Chains A and B, each alone.
Chain A
Amino acid sequence: EAQVTQNPRYLITVTGKKLTVTCSQNMNHEYMSWYRQDPGLGLRQIYYSMNVEVTDKGDVPEGYKVSRKEKRNFPLILESPSPNQTSLYFCASSRDRATDTQYFGPGTRLTVL
């Protein structure tokens, strides 16, 4: 089944404790992206990647890191999480660019205390 998977689905952590949210797709997609969703703000793009080893900042990259060492994986790293990073995070992938249909993961609910 074609899908985008994220882990964990739910995470509660404390300020400053490094964490990684994994994202994996099995569709051989070139484009992958991370978004955060906050009430009243919609979805905002954090980082995106056009291909292996190619990543670019989105609208709200501060406090986040990403890597794209393999085509299928695009982990989101929070080196020192803060409470303002409490949010719902979505990973997405599409065949070539975001103009193609983006397939979204199920979301990761992160709470930083």
Chain B
Amino acid sequence: AQTVTQSQPEMSVQEAETVTLSCTYDTSENNYYLFWYKQPPSRQMILVIRQEAYKQQNATENRFSVNFQKAAKSFSLKISDSQLGDTAMYFCAFMKHAGNQFYFGTGTSLTVIP
């Protein structure tokens, strides 16, 4: 089985500042997909960003960007200009290119402080 590790159970950041959430994963696959999902207090899961392992360019979605280090099996999420609405649980996730099973990490609870 693949494993996804998020070593920061909780983090906080001042509004308008930048924060980075860490994620590492373990796989023997060469081609796969990585994701960050957000779960606000409403519990609704929302896709934040997706990265395909064969693409060297780091994915970016507005204020959200990733630092994908394939050799190190690291996939961190950077949130710039943090907003109060970014307060949520963030989950890193993995899926093999040739598979259909999905693996989530244990999550990082992010609080944006006004």
Contacts and interface: CB of A to CB of B under 8 A. Distances in A.
A79 interface: no
A98 B95 contact: yes
B106 A41 contact: yes
Contacts of B47: 101-102
Interface in A74-93: 88, 90, 92
Q: In the complex, which range does the number of interface residues on chain B fall in? A: 20 to 34
Interface in B59-114: 91, 95, 97, 100-107
Contacts of A101: 47, 50
Given A99-B33, A102-B45, A107-B43, A45 B106 contact: no
A44 B97 CA distance: 19
Contacts of A97: 95, 100
A27 to B, nearest CB: 14
- Max chain B CB contacts within 10 Å: which of A41, A56, A102? A102
Contacts of A107: 43
Q: In the complex, which range does the number of interface residues on chain A fall in? A: 20 to 34
Nearest to A45: B102
Contact of B107 (A35, A42, A45, A99): A42
* Chain A contact residues: helix, strand, loop or mixed: strand
Nearest to A56: B100
Nearest to B97: A99
Contact of B103 (A40, A59, A102, A104): A59
B56 interface: no
Nearest to B1: A59
A47 to B, nearest CB: 10
B95 A99 contact: yes
A98 B102 contact: yes
Nearest to B105: A42
A106 B84 CA distance: 22
A63 to B, nearest CB: 18
Contacts of A104: 44-46
A98 B101 CA distance: 8
Interface of B: 1, 4, 6, 33, 37, 43-47, 50, 91, 95, 97, 100-107
